[in-house]
Chain A
Amino acid sequence: MKASRRAGVVLASGAIVAVGWSAAPEAIPVDPTLSADPQAPSQGGGAQPDAGPSGAPGAEQAFDGPPVSNLRGTYQARIVVRDGEVVDVQAVVAGTSAYESVAVNSVAIPEFRERVLKAQSWDVDAVSGASYTSPAFIESLRGAFEAAGLE
């Protein structure tokens, strides 16, 4: 397989091939309204209208889930809803450290170059990602959905 990959740097084990591919040629546009404030007080699942008048077309509204604690610390989810659809999911608090906001607006994902475009075009059965590795985060996320009236 993968002649192109074999050209890469060989690492310690000798069995591993380094490759680089490109994604997102431009800076990630971060919507300032989506920046999570790590110090935001928890509202116990209550709605937090952070942006725009409620219900206005195109306006974004943020909803926080309840803080959920486990052995690893406290997790709190926030969803951003626009026109009844979730456009972003953020961690307000994640584990032992406050979340360093690198929020990416999921409707404004930058252009991807060739390889990533190719990946996008595939019809896949599932996506493997690290999004949901913290069950406590999911628990909080569920509360945020309820607060937004989406579940």
Chain B
Amino acid sequence: MSDAWRRTVHAMGMPFRVTVADPGALGPEELERAVGRLHAELEWADDVFSLWRDDSCISALHRGEITIDEGPLELLEVLQACEWYRGATGGAFDARGPNGLDPTGLVKGWAVERAARALAGVGAWMVDAAGDILVSGVDARGEGSEDRTWRVGIADPRVQGDPDGAATIDVVRLGGRLRALATSGTAQRGAHIWDPATGEPARHVLQASVAGASLVEADVWATAVVAGGLEALSAAADAGLEALVVVAERQDGSYDTVATPGWPSALD
């Protein structure tokens, strides 16, 4: 890993780590500029969608100072996507929170997908959006392998804190069709996902990791599975996503887990 080119930028109150395994046609200065553009796009998304900043578009929308039509087109796009996914997940993903409209569950993945356009021309890259991962190309570093895909650990749901230092319960390979991976959970930070059916914090499963073709769908479905439990997992599988769900912790400390047949574990 020592030969990877890495940069970390901060936006939306979290770190985004960019790893480049193959710079492609881009020289060092062009790479820096590309990451600068990615950073600017993420900050722009924060300007529009931040719920804890008074000066964001969505805060103004909540205060009734602007209408959806008066915001940028992307505001409408994201809110429509939230509604679309509410339907697709059978209501398990629902941006209509207890206090109003909250597209936070979709915005991060959406913003990363959008910002990653800045990396066009880079041969192989990975964006780690505080634990949600998007990759492109093949990580061909090391071990003489010509086709090594990106390897990403799945965090132990019990372990809190720095994802870089976290214990992992599985390792997956990302690339090709499955270029995005997102994990949601209830074990950490208390419950931060609501079950739309009850209005209470979701307690169905401990953690859901979902791999898919886009970070928006991976992130939304991970949230949906945590909120909607195994029923939502079936729907995710039917929608072509792959998932690993930590259902419960047993008395002896081991986990009950459920995986779709195509879950890209590297350990089997």
Chain A positions near chain B (C-beta within 8 angstroms): 1-2, 4-6, 11-13, 15-28, 68-72, 75, 86, 88-91, 94-100, 102-104, 106, 109-110, 112-113, 115-116, 118-120, 122-139, 142
Contact = CB atoms under 8 A, between A and B. Distances in A.
27 contacts: A1-B268, A12-B234, A13-B233, A15-B260, A16-B237, A16-B260, A24-B253, A72-B99, A72-B192, A90-B160, A99-B190, A118-B267, A120-B167, A120-B168, A123-B1, A124-B153, A126-B19, A126-B128, A127-B155, A127-B164, A129-B155, A130-B186, A131-B161, A131-B163, A136-B13, A137-B189, A139-B52
A139 B36 CA distance: 22
Interface stretch (B24-32, B82-90, B176-184): B176-184
Most chain B CB neighbours (cut-off 10 Å) among A89, A95, A130:
A130
A139 B126 CA distance: 24
Nearest to B185: A130
Nearest to A22: B254
B207 A11 contact: no
B214 interface: no
User: Top 6 A-B pairs ranked by shortest CB distance?
Assistant: A129-B155, A130-B185, A94-B190, A89-B161, A13-B234, A22-B254
A109 B159 contact: yes
B191 interface: yes
Most chain B CB neighbours (cut-off 10 Å) among A4, A12, A72, A90:
A72
Nearest to B201: A97
A124 B254 CA distance: 23
Given A16-B230, A25-B254, A126-B19, 7 more contacts: A25-B252, A28-B158, A94-B191, A106-B162, A126-B152, A133-B189, A138-B130
A132 B165 CA distance: 13
Contact of B166 (A75, A118, A131, A139): A131
Interface stretch (B71-79, B115-123, B131-139): B131-139
Given A122-B151, A130-B185, A18 B256 contact: yes
A130 B265 contact: no
B100 A71 contact: yes
Nearest to B250: A20
A71 to B, nearest CB: 5
A94 B262 CA distance: 34
Contacts of A70: 51-52, 104
A120 B253 CA distance: 17
Contacts, number: 270
Contacts of A2: 259, 261, 265, 268
Contacts of A86: 161-162
B237 A20 contact: no
A81 to B, nearest CB: 12
Contact of B52 (A16, A69, A95): A69
B191 to A, nearest CB: 6
A60 B115 CA distance: 40
Most chain A CB neighbours (cut-off 10 Å) among B166, B186, B188:
B188
B98 A130 contact: no
Contacts of A131: 130-131, 155, 160-163, 166, 188-189
Contacts of B156: 23, 109, 116
B197 interface: no
Contact of A130 (B152, B187, B238): B187
Given A16-B258, A28-B253, A133-B192, A128 B160 contact: no
A15 B152 contact: no
